[in-house]
Structure 1
Amino acid sequence: MDHIKNSPNLPGSEPPVVMMLPEPNDINSFSPWEIDFRQIEAGPMETKVTVRAGSILTLLNISMSRAVHQTGVSPKGLLTFGIIRRNEVQVWQGQDTSASELLSFGSSDPFDGVSATRFCGTTVSIREHDIEHLADALGLNIPESLRTSATPAIYVHHKRLAAIRQLSEQLTDGHDQPMTENVQEEIVANLLLVANSYDQHEDKSTPLIRSRTVSKTTELMLALLGENVPISKICKEVGVSWRTLDRSFLEKFGIGPKKYYHRLRLNRVRSDLIHKANHYNISDIANRWGFWHLGQFAQDYHNMFGELPSTTMRISGE
């Protein structure tokens, strides 16, 4: 299993870039987008843009205080998707999309839409080569609805959309959430799962296959607890698709494989804090189990155990 080990998955050091634009079309001066925003609602316009680029994808969050008609062409060489809330975009490519939460821009495709007052949305742009490579590693399809703006709105309300939106907002709101390769992969994988949807592409695995999948995966996770290996590499090693792996873990534990792996590593940290508090500091113990961003680690630890790592260490040392 040495061939799938990683070096520490350190977060990028670049924080989000936040800009207040005098007028929305100023976005064309620093981004690969070709956009023409036309304000169609009277009143003062405020436009805020936040950009955060990672090794796999780029997030661009834009908020505007007035309704606009927007036309343009999506960036070449990228597949781009829009994460929105219901009723924030009224019309997209000539269709009523007020009930949609996921839009497709395609690659180098024209688009035309009308957004509502106080619009706020995030685009996720991924290089075509990267999304194809990741889809292959996860055993997922890239449906045509993601490759073109001809099918502009994907009408599927999936709990994963809320997770994608929350994670994207955390990444663009500040530097506390590290933009690691694992986090970026999670966004792309969830987008693929949403677009495919379980109803359209049913998992064909048997209960026996799913049981064996869980056993093989948990064994692998135990062997690689300090590595924080991406789930795509675990899928490849175990020989199953993300869909089968996800279903297997949800059936047995009620949580997905990524969350299980994360919580397993947090458990190991807590054990060390309780039993080795006098010999190591918190950062050393966190690093040992693959946690390199201490701010995010402390938050995750508190969410899991209801106390900070320092509290656990202090109580164990008394």
Structure 2
Amino acid sequence: MSWGRVLTFDDPFPYQSAFRAADMELFPTAKGEFRAEVTQVELNQLWMARFHEKLPRIQTGVIKRGRKAFGFLTKANQPELYSCGRPLSPGEIHVNNFEVTHHKSGGDFSSATVSLPREELAAASVAIVGREFPDTSARQFIRPNPRLMERLLALHEMVGQMAKTTPDLFAAAEVVRALEQQLVYTLVKCLTEGTVSTTTTGTLRHDLIVARFEEFLEANPNTPLYLTEVCAAIGTAERTLRIACEEHVGMGPIRYLHLRRMHLVRRALLRADSSTTVTRIATDHGFWELGRFSVAYRQLFGEVPSVTLKR
């Protein structure tokens, strides 16, 4: 059954589940109240979403197997969004091919996604333009004809507005079918009639390094990690890892490890029962100097750890 809905969030952890075509983790990089709104629409095969976020953040994750996902900006004048180290410009579409992807943004920005099952995209492409959209492993950015991109943006906005104001219309099969046909047609034309830019060999190498880095972090979620052992585990020199991390997440690996651990601590504090202490959770995540930890925690989240635990 097709549907549309609007969700609001004041915490990054539940917000992560709003990325339905991907498994994502999200780490705000500045202090402030987290606010996000997402408009979700599921048609027959096509999923789409519209996002607006207030805080700068790093987002990392993987696209769900079997689907092809595409992202683009919905506003021209806003903070830059970097996708795997490359700025995504207004009027461009990012083709999410890599299993591990990173997005870095400033605060107060808006973006959108569209995703289809791979076989549905292939069949639609053959029907519309006579050939399949290439399923390459290289990360791609496509700049469609401006007229086509404007049409995609307008359709996406219109369907998103329906989810906000008249969600009952998604119960009408013919309405859903017409909307999906228009969106798929316009998306395929944008993808196949645009200028394609692909990543260089050096960039691909850095993509793989950061992917191995993230896989190692995922395999050791609650273990204090140190740079020397990380580099040894993923087979990369410290300097190379530092350059790759700067490209993808806008900071070096030590700072990224610290940021990630701080957010994992906050998640643990919010989920803890009444018998758990701040000291236990902090030391479990490798923070031994509790005074410095408390100061850094307050600087990032605007409250001391004990307040988070009580909540």
What TM-score do you get using the length of structure 2 for normalisation?
Answer: 0.53
Name the residue aligned to 1:132.
Answer: 122
Say if 1:153 and 1:198 are closer, same or farther in 2 by CA, change over 3 A.
closer
* Matched-pair contact (CA < 8 Å) for 1:36–1:71: yes
- Note closer, same or farther for the CA distance 1:48–1:134 as it changes in structure 2 (3 Å cut): same
Show structure 1 runs of 4+ deviating over 6 A.
none
Q: Does 1:101 align with 2:98?
A: no
CA displacement, residues 92-134 of structure 1 (integer Å, 9 cap, x when unaligned) = 112233455311113x721112123212111111011111111
Q: Secondary structure at the match of 2:33?
A: coil
Tell me if 1:25 matches 2:13.
yes
Contact 2:128 2:188 in 1 (8 A): no
Q: Report if aligned partners of 2:122, 2:133 keep a CA contact under 8 Å in 1.
A: no
Question: Which residue, 136, 159, 162 being the options, matches 1:174?
Answer: 162
Question: Would the alpha carbon gap of residues 29 and 149 (structure 1) be closer, same or farther in structure 2, given more than 3 Å must change?
Answer: same
Partner of 2:232: none
**CA distance in 2 between partners of 1:199 and 1:169 (Å):** 24
Q: Partner of 1:76: helix, strand, or coil? A: coil
8 Å CA contact 1:62–1:120 kept in 2: the answer is: yes
Q: Secondary structure of the equivalent of 2:141?
A: coil
Which one-letter code corresponds to 1:45 in the other structure?
F
Query: What is the alpha-carbon distance in structure 2 between the residues aligned to residue 95 and residue 143 of structure 1?
Result: 22
Q: Establish whether residue 150 from structure 1 lines up as the match of residue 144 from structure 2.
A: no
User: Counterpart of 1:39?
Assistant: 28
What is the CA–CA distance in structure 1 between the aligned matches of 2:55 and 2:130, rounded to whole Å? 38
Partner residue of 2:82 out of 60, 81, 91 = 91
* 2-structure distance, mates of 1:133, 1:114: 33
Query: Is the 8 Å Cα contact of residues 111 and 149 (structure 1) preserved in structure 2?
Result: no
Distance 1:115 1:152 in 2: 19
- Asked if the contact 2:126/2:132 (under 8 Å) is kept, the reply is no
In structure 1, the gaps of 5 or more residues are 1-11, 201-318
| 1:194 aligns with one of 179, 190, 196 | 190
Distance change in 2, residues 1:25/1:105 (3 Å): farther
Aligned position for 1:141: 131
C-alpha contact 1:79 1:127 (8 A) present in aligned 2: yes
> Does structure 2 conserve the Cα–Cα contact (< 8 Å) formed by 1:93 and 1:152?
no
Gaps of 5+ in 2: 197-311
Give the aligned partner of residue 179 of structure 2. 183
Q: Over the residues paired in the alignment, what is the CA RMSD in angstroms?
A: 2.7
- Equivalent residues, number: 185
Q: What are the residue-to-residue correspondences of 1:30-69 with 2, within 5 Å? A: 31-69=20-58
Superposition TM-score, scaled by structure 1 size: 0.51
- The 3-state SS of whatever aligns with 1:153 is strand
Q: Which amino acid aligns with 1:109?
A: E
Query: What's 2:105 paired with?
Result: 115
Mapped to 1, the partners of 2:90 and 2:39 lie a distance apart of 25
CA distance in structure 1 between the aligned counterparts of 2:56 and 2:130, rounded to whole angstroms: 37
Q: Which of 67, 70, 89 is the matching residue for 1:78?
A: 67
Q: How far does residue 65 in structure 1 lie from its aligned partner after superposition?
A: 0.8
Where does residue 148 of structure 2 map in the other structure? 160
Identity over aligned residues, as a percent? 17
